[in-house]
């Protein structure tokens, strides 16, 4: 069992400004749940409150329908993997993995059985007698994971466990952690500031900013229908292109940043008040390359990033820098004016004053294929 419920949870220090405020959330049993947000948003504090390492200022925390606000960490039946791995430098790998079981006075036979299972799973067989200083970052991380596995706790908390690893190893460990979670049926609560990790690993994501929930949902839902400007700019790589926009009724156009005009040929804009201050957003992959005949605009290139499998092209749109992401390798030069296609149905509309989403992009897969 690993069902977690947070009811109006809050955290403040010395009755000053709240670090977390009004957190209401349910994490289902067996779910891989990701907490994501910028540094200082309160995500690690929230994880430590679930673990019992931080005192709860207000609200109720339930694990498996039992209120655990005042239970010490050892009685919450959970494990935790820390950002710095928290390994004992004077103990070898085997002793580090078994430390918690020995503290709980688990029988030696069961300790060895659990140890062998975890070591085989994490590929640590040849490192059991080594000290942490003799291991690489990835190996230390696997030791911390193995220590969590042997506890056999149904709820596992992870606080940015991959942040100290290089890019290649991070990509590999993302797959390994996800595979491990599915195999063991764990409920996992995973904290990261990396939205790529959040998108690729989570069954659901909660986006936090300044101690408040911005949006909770499946990764693809947050990507396609961000609840507000913060989520729109935080989820996705490259981030969503944004700009101030106004409707010009005389010409039936939408003018963005006083620099880009788009014909209003969409049938899905009836609920948008023309008098509202608007911001629009468009994903980098929805600024399509075009020919001179099919182009809606010709934009001047200000930067090009050749990534091998795709090309990132940047343009100045008024005061904003927009990026387009095109599959494959494109021979585009800085200063060149290139033909692109921008369709009204690929725009997200936000209220510029409140930041809230008014209308998400409205397009079909068939239309997307036709636009390319």
Domain boundary among 226, 253, 269: 226
The answer to the question of residue 232 being in a domain is no
Last residue in a domain, options 226, 247, 276: 226
Tell me: do 217 and 264 sit in the same domain: no
Where in the sequence is the domain holding 360, given as residue range(s)?
Answer: 238-371
Strand partners, 332: none
Q: Are 32 and 153 within one domain? A: yes
Residue 134 belongs to a domain: yes
CATH number at residue 38: 3.40.50.300
- Phi and psi based region of residue 108 (left: phi greater than 0; alpha: psi -120 to 50; beta: remaining): alpha
Say how many domains are in the chain. 2
3-state secondary structure the chain: CCCEEEEEEEEECCCCCEEEEEEEEEECCCCEEEEECCCCCCHHHHHHHHHCCCCCCEEEEEECCEECCCCCHHHCCEEEECCCCCCCCCCCHHHHHHHHHHHCCCCHHHHHHHHHHHHHHHCCHHHCCCCHHHCCHHHHHHHHHHHHHHCCCCEEEEECCCCCCCHHHHHHHHHHHHHHHHHHCCEEEEEECCHHHHHHHCCEEEEEECCEEEEEECHHHHHHCCCEHHHHHHCCCCCCEEEEEEEECCCCEEEECCCEEEECCCCCCCCCCCCCCEEEEECHHHCEECCCCCCCEEEEEEEEEECCCEEEEEEEECCEEEEEEEECCCCCCCCCEEEEECCHHHCEEEECCCCEEEECCCCCHHHHHHHC
Q: Which residues of 1-36 are buried (b: 16+ CB within 10 A; e: fewer)?
A: ebbbbbeebbbeeeeeebbbbebebebeebbbbbbb
Question: Mind listing the pLDDT tens digit of every residue in the chain (372 residues)?
Answer: 579 999 999 999 877 778 999 999 999 999 999 999 998 899 999 999 999 999 999 999 999 999 999 999 989 999 998 888 889 999 999 999 999 898 888 899 999 998 998 888 888 889 999 999 999 888 888 898 889 888 888 999 999 888 877 888 788 888 888 988 898 899 999 999 888 899 999 999 999 999 999 999 999 999 999 999 999 999 998 899 999 999 887 767 889 999 999 887 666 676 677 767 899 999 999 999 999 899 999 999 999 999 999 999 999 999 999 999 999 999 999 999 999 999 988 999 999 999 999 999 987 654 554 555
Strand partners, 254: 247, 262
pTM for the predicted model, two decimal places: 0.88
If asked whether residues 188 and 290 sit together in one domain, one would say no
């Amino acid at each position: 069992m690993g069902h977690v419920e947070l009811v109006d949870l809050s955290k403040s220090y010395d009755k000053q400004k709240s670090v977390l405020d009004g957190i209401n959330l349910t994490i289902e049993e067996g779910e891989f749940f990701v907490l994501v947000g910028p540094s200082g948003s309160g995500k690690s504090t929230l994880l430590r409150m679930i673990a019992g390492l931080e005192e709860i200022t207000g609200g109720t925390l339930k694990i498996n329908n039992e209120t655990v606000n005042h239970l010490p960490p050892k009685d919450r039946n959970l494990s935790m993997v820390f950002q710095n791995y928290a390994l004992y430098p004077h103990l070898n790998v085997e002793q580090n993995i078994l430390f918690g079981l020995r503290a709980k006075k688990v029988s030696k036979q069961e300790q060895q059985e659990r140890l062998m299972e975890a070591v085989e799973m994490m590929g640590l067989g040849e490192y059991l007698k080594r000290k942490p200083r003799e291991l690489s970052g990835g190996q230390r991380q696997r030791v911390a994971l193995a220590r969590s596995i042997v506890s056999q706790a149904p709820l596992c908390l992870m606080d940015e466990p991959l942040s100290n690893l290089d890019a290649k190893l991070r990509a590999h460990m993302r797959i390994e952690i996800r595979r491990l979670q599915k195999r063991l049926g764990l409920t996992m609560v995973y904290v990261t500031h990396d939205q790529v990790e959040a998108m690729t690993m989570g069954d659901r994501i909660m986006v936090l900013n300044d101690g408040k929930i911005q949006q909770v949902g499946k990764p693809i839902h947050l990507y396609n229908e961000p609840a507000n400007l913060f989520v729109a700019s935080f989820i996705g790589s490259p981030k969503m292109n944004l700009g101030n926009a106004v409707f010009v009724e005389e010409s039936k156009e939408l003018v963005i940043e006083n620099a880009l005009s788009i014909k209003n040929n969409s049938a899905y804009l009836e609920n948008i008040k023309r008098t509202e201050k608007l911001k629009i957003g468009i994903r980098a992959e929805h600024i399509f390359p075009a020919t001179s005949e099919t182009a809606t605009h010709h934009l001047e290139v200000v930067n090009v990033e050749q990534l091998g499998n795709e090309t990132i092209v940047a343009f100045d749109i008024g005061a904003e820098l927009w990026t387009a992401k095109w599959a494959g390798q494109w021979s585009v030069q800085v200063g060149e004016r290139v033909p692109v296609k921008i369709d009204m149905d690929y725009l997200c509309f936000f209220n510029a004053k409140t930041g809230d989403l008014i209308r998400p992009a409205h397009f079909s897969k068939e239309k997307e294929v036709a636009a390319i």
